[in-house]
Amino acid sequence: MRSFLKLLTLASALPLAACNTQTANLAAPTAPVVQTALATQAPLAGEARDKEWMKLAPNATIDPKIARTTIDYPTKEAPGTVIVVTKERRLYYVLPDGKAVRYPVAVGHAGMAWAGTAEVDRKGEWPDWNPPAEMLARRPELPKRLEGGPTSPIGARALYLAEGKKDTLFRIHGTNEPEKIGQAVSSGCIRMLNADVVDLYERVPIGAKVVVR
């Protein structure tokens, strides 16, 4: 991987060769190698992509007191339900026998929080980020689309929430700001650590009930 990145860096320097004699002399004989590498390099996918991109994604130390754990959690909600308690900045995945997996999350800041009952309408791995029109109106400097990857604001996974098959525009997703987990900072979406959202993603099927309160 490092060799490929090095070759890609040399390739990007080719247009500047006229300004740097040494670069020009080094770049010329390696051009065919760059073309071959680009032609044969297979895109990362699945576990290999997760492993590589997780290493590249922003990371932060989380207080062990709020880290993901399994707890006693009596509730009337059925196993498989996702419950977000915004005041606690916690997300619970309900297990059988009065248990739940508890995750730390970041929630919407004042005036942007959402509450209600929805279902997981679709799911995405390292999804592209497409800010809704309302967000673009507030922050016109944002890109209209950002390709998914290790530094994307939407992180490693996303669960898209709908009410009666109508998109709520709210998501449960990863983050490129892990240091803000446990705070009220988002535009309403529920942010999770990338490792945590991958764990939740594997547990939650499409159609699962989500309660935000």
Cα 46 to Cα 15, 40, 176, 198: the distances in Å are 34, 18, 20, 12
Q: What is the pLDDT of residues 18-42, one digit of tens each?
A: 333 333 333 333 444 444 344 455 6
Over residues 57-84, the mean pLDDT reads 96
So what's the pLDDT on residue 44? Answer: 79
Over residues 51-64, the mean pLDDT reads 95
Backbone angles phi, psi at 9, to 5 degrees: -65, -40
What is the Cα Rg of the chain in Å?
Answer: 21
Q: Are 170 and 78 in contact (CB under 8 A)?
A: no
The percentage of residues in the chain with a pLDDT greater than 90, rounded to a whole number, is 61
Q: What is the pLDDT of residues 103-161, one digit of tens each?
A: 999 998 765 677 899 999 999 999 997 776 776 777 787 777 778 999 999 999 999 99
| Residue 100 pLDDT > 90 | yes
Over residues 72-92, the mean pLDDT reads 97
Structure-model confidence comparison of residues 32 and 189, the more confident one: 189
Record the pTM: 0.76
Q: Active-site positions?
A: 173, 189
